[in-house]
Amino acid sequence: MRKTDFFVIVIVLLLLQSCSKKEGVVGSRQRLAQIMFEETQTIGDVMIYDRPLSIGERWNWDGDELYRIDYSDESQFSEIFYYDRRGRISRTTVPAYKIERDFYYDGRTLERIKCYRDGELYCTVVFRHNDKHISGMDWQYESSAESDVSYDFEWKGDDVSKVICNTDSSGWECYVEYDNNYNPYHQLFGHYEMTNRFWIFGMLSENNVRSLRIVSDGDERYYHFDYEYSEHYPSKSVMSTSYSTADPNTLDEAVCTIIKTKHFSYK
C-alpha cells in the first residue's frame, strides 16, 4: 500500500470518528427501552418519602432515532423529538405543557435553543465552544422576573469535570468524576435535562457520573453513584446523598438521607 493511500485512510477514519460525536445526535450502541425508579428519603429515623419501584420513562424508537419519551413520574406526559437531515435534534415538544424547543446549528456545532411556552418565546439558551467541546451555556430569559444563568464547563477527555454556575445573585461550583462505561443519556437535550439544569453536564458527557461535590456559599454537598452494568451500559444505578436539616417533629438538627435507584432495560 502506498503511503499516500495509508494517510488518506487514516484521515477518513478520523473524520468518521469525529462525525460520530456530532452535537445534537442522540444514539448509542444500546437503545434504552424503559427506566424504572424507586426512591426513599429519611430524616433521622423517620421515613418522609417512599416511592415503590415503578415505571418512570418509556423510550420509543423509529429505527435508530428516538422519537418519543413517555414519562410516568409525579405527572404523566410525553415528549416528542424531531430531527434534521443530518439526524440531529431540530425540535422537541411537550404537548401537555404547551412547550416547544427549536434547535439551531452553526455547521456541526449546536448554536442555540429557543424555548417557547404557549407559543411565546420565554428563554434562549446560547452555547459557547472551544476547539473540541461545549465550553459554556447562557440561559437568557425574556421576562425580567427570571434571572439569567451562565454555566462554564471544564473538560477531562470527553467528560465535563467541573461546572461553574453564575447568576445575578449567587453561584456554585461542581466537581465531577466518572466511570469508564457508556452514558445512555449522552446528547439527550430532553425536557428533564433542560428543566433540571443542575444535571445537564451529565447529558453532555460520554460516561456516567460516579461522584459529585457541589460547593455553594462555603457549604459542600456530596452525591455518590453505584452502578451495575450490562455490555458496558448501566443496568442499575443507585444515587445517595446526605445533608444536615431540621427534624420535622423536634426541629433539632438531623441528617436527611436520599437514595434514588434506577433500573435500565434496553431493546
Q: Domain locations in the chain?
A: 42-266
Write out the three cell numbers for 194. 433542560
Predicted confidence at residue 7, as pLDDT, reads: 35
* C-alpha cell read off for 238: 443507585
Reply yes or no on whether the pLDDT at 8 is more than 80. no
Beta strand segments in the chain, E: 32-43, 46-62, 65-72, 76-83, 89-94, 99-106, 109-117, 120-129, 134-141, 149-156, 159-167, 171-182, 207-216, 219-230, 233-246, 253-266
Q: Give the dihedral sign, CA 227/228/233/235.
A: negative
What distance in Å separates the CA atoms of residue 109 and residue 127, rounded to the nearest whole number? 9
Phi and psi dihedrals of 97, rounded to 5? -105, 5
Residue 213 has pLDDT above 70, yes or no: yes
Pairwise CA distance, residues 103 & 48, whole Å: 40
Instruction: Flag whether pLDDT at 252 surpasses 60.
Output: yes
Q: Which fold has domain 42-266?
A: Porin (2.40.160)
Other residues' Cβ atoms within 10 Å of the Cβ of residue 152: 15
Beta bridge partners, 117, equal: 99, 120
Average pLDDT, the chain: 87
- The pTM of this model reads 0.85
- Res 14 pLDDT > 50: no
What proportion of the chain, given as a percentage, has pLDDT over 70? 89
